[in-house]
Amino acid sequence: MKRLVLVRREQSLRGGQPLSFLIGLVVALLAGILLLVASGHNPLEIYERLFNSSVGSSNAWAKTLNRAVPLGLAGLAVAVAGSMGLWNIGAEGQILAGAMMAAWIAQIGEGWASPLLIPLMLIASILGGALLASGPGIARAQIGVNEIITTLMLNEVALRLLQWLIHGPWKDPESRGFPLAPLLADEARLPKLFGRAHWGVIIAFLVIAFFGFIVSRTAWGYELKVAGSSGATARYAGISLNKKIITVMVLSGGIAGLAGGIELSGTSDRIVEGVSGGYGFAGIIVAALALMRPSGVAAVALIFGAVQVGGLSIQTLGVSSSVSTILQALILFGAIGAGVFNRYSLKSVKREKKGGST
Amino acid sequence: MTSESPLAIELVDVWKRFPGVVANAGATLSVKKGTIHAVLGENGAGKSTLMNILSGVYRPDEGQVRINGEQHWFHSPSDALASGIGMVHQEFRLVPSFTVAENIVLGASEKIIRRSLIEKEVEQIAQQFGLVIDPTRPVWQLSMGERQRVEILKTLWRKAQILILDEPTAVLTPAEADELGNVLRKIAEDGRTVVFISHKLHEVTAFCDEATVLRGGKTVASTLKVEEVNESDLAGLMVGSSPMISERPPYQEPGEAMLTIEGLGTLDDRFLPAVKNLNLTIKSGEIVGIAGVSGNGQREMAQAIAGLRPITSGKVTISGKDLTNAPPSERFTAGLGYVPEDRLGVGLAPRLTVTENAILRCYKSLRKSIFLVSEQAVNYCKEIIDRFGVRTGPIDEPIAGLSGGNLQRLLVGRELSGNPKVVLAAQPTRGLDVQGVKAIQDLLIDERAEGVAVLLISEDLDELLTLSDRLLVMHEGEIVKEFDPANAHRHEIGAAMAGKRDES
């Protein structure tokens, strides 16, 4: 009997990334054909729409980029914590906290000019996310409370706070009973870059590049990676962990908070219950697919964004949302997951079967 | 074999290889039914691997497993359990929020379980063997000793006829350990068989009927009657006689004192005294060897000197500089190179690249403001690789691909690259192949020639006798005897390792 096992390559394939991406994509699309045919669709028509709606025009690119922004920032938040071996599962709540803080500043600063108001909103959003993540960071550093649980639970706290705001104090009097906050004033909205794509794209790209650089090129980032690889090695090298844990959680929360601020000011234009759009949880997937490397987050987020935009669009052709979701997952894991073969090779080994005597 | 009682366990010529390591190289084990059998050996001797083979966790590459005379080929621990073999691992496998009874029944094949019935059954077994425990208490409230009883009850409740305990006393206080001995005796008297893994000699002579000694994956002594041997014999069997590799370096007059340790005290992981009032001076150009059965404070001593374990009393000085409370990095700058016992996970960070691991000790000096200058890091790494002959793939790849010997060369090379005054090497050649052993030993000899003071902690007696200028034996956290390696007798060293004090 034979079985397949993954064997670590002596060294990674150089420059194999684009190739594995293409091969993985093709395999995923081929598998998707089966899925689409089985569910009674014309694969060609669906794939054409999938492509056109996500990257086929400047309008499509705008949608994809706008989606990639919160995905990338949330992914970065998770990856920054992850490079130290910490799990921030609370990006979703931190996004909400950031959005609420930004909305609050927008209310206070009614009538202020954009160049003043928008930076203040974004700074507030960073503070909001950072504040929400600081608690888990301090608890982890000082008394060893597992940050996975605390960050996860704070998601709920942030969500309830937001629900209270939009059902109560912030409820838009003109919303005809719907739980919505009022629309932001024009000054509080991020200017457009092209089409519907807003300046958040540039901000997110810079933030991701900045942290990618910090983690891979500075002594501080090096200490982070040592600590993430093994706490005992970090102590051996004289790296103190406690302060770093708090700093990293605050930064991670701040990044997620910024995603909330940008999402509010650039896309949703008002606080509603779904303002975080599940990006916080999707960010965990983005970070995992980027192998927890901050520098890899941007590319993954872009692909993720495109797949999401395309996946929504094909539903207008009658593809059910579940089939669309399966297709999205196929493409995502096919295209990005194939990268594993850059580091591992597939070998078939004989299954040891000796039974009775030797 | 004696005819008095039949053999419960026979392991014949068992081989088990892992990438880069041969864990078992023709190990054998014969255990009589109704006895307590000790399996002795130093860390890395292959005890745990052999027991994992017996309990179905691993499958042997070669060799036979016979239970009650019948050959078995276990595919999983539950397979082994079905044949009556239960294992109590070092790390307990219990759910803290479940009660004792719930933990015991967890994973059992019964579909419908009546709580009161299980609790009654557990109570009954507990009483029979003197394992005092309340089956309704949640596990998180229990002490380590009590948790161990739950693990033992788990195997007994599943009707195990053969119990394997992997270093069961490592987590116990001495009183709890004695109590465990009584429990095991009752289990054996009930006609079951107990395999007791340990490297604590006095427990073996106190609790066990027979002993098998493993060294380097091989059985070096099987079914010794414990009544007929003493602790020094066992210690002598456990410590190595690997092929002598490096030449004994020529005599050289030691220089001034480099490392001075006065009245050192430190605690182990359970906050019990591990090292007591230890005094030691190592001079320039001198290798001082520390022998001892592992678990006698060697590890804690090394960690205390390196700054990884708080010092509770005494003073550590390196060439006149008091470093008692200094952090590890300051000790490195002051001239202390430390090769820890745990290479991967303490000395080296497994997921980082070769370069990142090479600069672990000196990255602060490779900074330009906040940035790490990658050219300097790469040059530094290449220097270590060239000078110490580390064979690596690309240096920007994770070190996971390196062999054990090359990992150790990288680690030792890095520690020597700071031009240390004192090198503290804990088990530097353990688990390495012949070439690796020689390379590391030669490096230590070279350092000695250059006037470095070397503290060598090893379980390989030949290594210690070859390399050391002075040989100290540690027992229960104290240095009990000093030997001149040139004129030392193995059995005398063995006796000292078993705790026999220096009379003079």
Residue B45, pLDDT score = 79
> Which sign, positive or negative, has the C-alpha torsion A165, A167, A173, A178?
positive
Structure tokens at B472: 């100290």
**Residues in A touching B364 (Cβ below 8 Å):** 219
Q: Report the CATH number that the domain containing residue B107 is assigned in CATH.
A: 3.40.50.300
B323 vs A238: CA distance, rounded Å = 14
A161 band by pLDDT with thresholds 50, 70 and 90 = very high
Distances (CA, A) of B28 to B126, B213, B217, B431: 33, 10, 10, 20
Residue A254, pLDDT score = 97
Q: How far is B447 from chain A (nearest CA, A)?
A: 22
Query: Would residue A105 count as lying in a domain?
Result: yes
A237 close to B (CB below 8 A): yes
Query: Would residue A90 count as lying in a domain?
Result: yes
Statement: residue A181 has pLDDT above 90: no
Distances (CA, A) of A271 to A112, A164, A165, B379: 20, 12, 9, 53
Residue B2, pLDDT score = 44
Query: Would residue A336 count as lying in a domain?
Result: no
Q: Which residue segment(s) compose the domain that A276 sits in?
A: 70-299
In this structure, the answer to whether residues B232 and B196 fall within a common structural domain is: yes
How many CB atoms within 10 Å of residue B250? 7
- Pick from B14, B66, B305, B397 the residue to mutate for testing the A interface (most A CBs within 10 Å): B397
A6 close to B (CB below 8 A): no
In this structure, the answer to whether residues B71 and B133 fall within a common structural domain is: yes
The 3-state DSSP class for residue B449 equals helix
Place of tokens 């070859």: B466
Q: Which residue segment(s) compose the domain that B40 sits in?
A: 7-238
Query: What pLDDT digit, counting tens, does each position of A62-89 carry?
Result: 999 999 999 999 999 999 999 999 999 9
**Residues in B touching A149 (Cβ below 8 Å):** none
CA neighbor of B204 nearest in space, from B193, B213, B215: B213
Cβ contact B352–A226 (<8 Å): yes
Q: How far is B349 from chain A (nearest CA, A)?
A: 6
In this structure, the answer to whether residues B217 and B296 fall within a common structural domain is: no
CB-hemisphere CA count at 13 Å for B487? 2
Query: Would residue A23 count as lying in a domain?
Result: no
B431 vs B436: CA distance, rounded Å = 9
**Residues in A touching B338 (Cβ below 8 Å):** 236
Q: How far is A111 from chain B (nearest CA, A)?
A: 41
Cβ contact B349–A220 (<8 Å): no
B329 close to A (CB below 8 A): yes
Structure tokens at A176: 């005809």
Are the CB atoms for A96 and A162 separated by under 8 Å?
yes
Residue A349, pLDDT score = 65
> Helix A297-313 vs helix A43-55: angle between axes, to the nearest 10 degrees?
130
Tens-digit pLDDT string for chain B (504 aa): 444 678 999 999 999 887 656 788 889 999 999 999 999 887 677 888 899 899 888 889 999 999 998 898 888 888 888 889 999 987 888 998 899 998 988 877 666 778 888 889 999 999 999 888 888 999 988 888 889 999 999 999 989 999 999 888 877 777 788 889 999 999 999 999 999 988 778 788 888 999 999 888 889 888 889 888 888 788 778 776 555 567 788 888 888 999 999 999 999 887 889 999 999 999 999 999 999 887 889 999 999 999 999 999 999 999 989 999 998 888 998 999 999 988 888 999 988 999 999 999 888 888 888 888 888 999 999 999 998 888 887 888 888 777 777 889 999 999 998 889 999 999 898 777 667 788 889 999 999 999 999 999 988 888 898 899 999 999 999 999 999 998 888 888 888 888 877 554
Question: Could you say which of A8, A229, A355 has the minimum Cβ distance to residue B350?
Answer: A229
The complex's ipTM works out to 0.79
Residue B269: exposure state from Cβ atoms within 10 A (0-12, 13-18, ≥19): exposed
Distances (CA, A) of A303 to A74, A120, A324, B449: 15, 31, 16, 60
Are the CB atoms for A204 and A74 separated by under 8 Å?
no
CA neighbor of B418 nearest in space, from B326, B319, B352, B338: B338
List CB contacts of A295: < 8 A, sequence separation 6 or more.
Answer: A208, A209, A212, A213, A215, A216
Statement: residue A357 has pLDDT above 50: no
In this structure, the answer to whether residues B182 and B155 fall within a common structural domain is: yes
Residue B211, phi then psi, degrees to nearest 5: -140, 145
A213-217: average pLDDT:
91
Cβ contact B328–A217 (<8 Å): no
Q: Least CA distance to B362: which residue of chain A?
A: A237
Statement: residue A355 has pLDDT above 50: no
Query: Would residue B475 count as lying in a domain?
Result: yes
B332 close to A (CB below 8 A): yes
A15 close to B (CB below 8 A): no
B390 vs B392: CA distance, rounded Å = 6
B183 vs B426: CA distance, rounded Å = 36
A212 close to B (CB below 8 A): no
Q: How far is A209 from chain B (nearest CA, A)?
A: 15
Place of tokens 């005890």: B47
Q: How far is A217 from chain B (nearest CA, A)?
A: 6
In this structure, the answer to whether residues B124 and B49 fall within a common structural domain is: yes
Structure tokens at A84: 């130290």
Are the CB atoms for B421 and B319 separated by under 8 Å?
yes
In this structure, the answer to whether residues B216 and B315 fall within a common structural domain is: no
Cβ contact A217–B371 (<8 Å): yes
Q: How far is A224 from chain B (nearest CA, A)?
A: 11
Beta bridge partner(s), residue B318? B259, B321
B238 close to A (CB below 8 A): no
In this structure, the answer to whether residues B234 and B293 fall within a common structural domain is: no
DSSP state of A266: I
CA neighbor of B416 nearest in space, from B377, B442, B438, B396: B442
DSSP state of A351: P
In this structure, the answer to whether residues B221 and B301 fall within a common structural domain is: no
A352 band by pLDDT with thresholds 50, 70 and 90 = very low
CB-hemisphere CA count at 13 Å for B323? 27
Are the CB atoms for B24 and B217 separated by under 8 Å?
yes
In this structure, the answer to whether residues B321 and B223 fall within a common structural domain is: no
Residue B279, phi then psi, degrees to nearest 5: -115, 140
B374 close to A (CB below 8 A): yes
Q: How far is B390 from chain A (nearest CA, A)?
A: 16
Statement: residue A269 has pLDDT above 90: no
B423/A179: higher pLDDT: B423
Query: Would residue B337 count as lying in a domain?
Result: yes
In this structure, the answer to whether residues B45 and B166 fall within a common structural domain is: yes
**Residues in A touching B350 (Cβ below 8 Å):** 229-230
- Measure the N-to-C terminal CA separation of chain A; round to a whole number of Å: 18
According to DSSP H, which parts of B64-173 are helical? 77-82, 100-105, 115-129, 144-157
Residue A185, phi then psi, degrees to nearest 5: -65, 155
Query: Would residue B247 count as lying in a domain?
Result: no
Q: How far is B419 from chain A (nearest CA, A)?
A: 17
In this structure, the answer to whether residues B288 and B231 fall within a common structural domain is: no
**Residues in A touching B19 (Cβ below 8 Å):** none
Residue A142, pLDDT score = 93
A228 close to B (CB below 8 A): yes
Cβ contact B363–A352 (<8 Å): no
Cβ contact A233–B349 (<8 Å): yes
Structure tokens at A34: 């089966």
Sort residue B221 into left (φ over 0), alpha (ψ -120 to 50) or beta: beta
How many CB atoms within 10 Å of residue A188? 23
Distances (CA, A) of A94 to A91, B24, B92: 5, 52, 37
A185 vs B151: CA distance, rounded Å = 66
Q: Least CA distance to A232: which residue of chain B?
A: B346
Cβ contact A237–B360 (<8 Å): yes
**Residues in A touching B366 (Cβ below 8 Å):** 219
Beta bridge partner(s), residue B71? B66
Residue A334, pLDDT score = 87
Q: Which of A15-29, A67-81, A261-275 shows the lowest mean pLDDT across its residues?
A: A15-29
Q: Least CA distance to A343: which residue of chain B?
A: B397
Q: Report the CATH number that the domain containing residue A221 is assigned in CATH.
A: 1.10.3470.10
A104 band by pLDDT with thresholds 50, 70 and 90 = very high
How many CB atoms within 10 Å of residue B491? 12
In this structure, the answer to whether residues B145 and B188 fall within a common structural domain is: yes
A10 close to B (CB below 8 A): yes
Length of chain A, in residues: 358
Residue B18, pLDDT score = 74
Structure tokens at B421: 């005054």
Q: How many domains does the structure of chain A reveal?
A: 1
Q: How many domains does the structure of chain B reveal?
A: 2
Structure tokens at B453: 């003071």
Residue A358, pLDDT score = 32
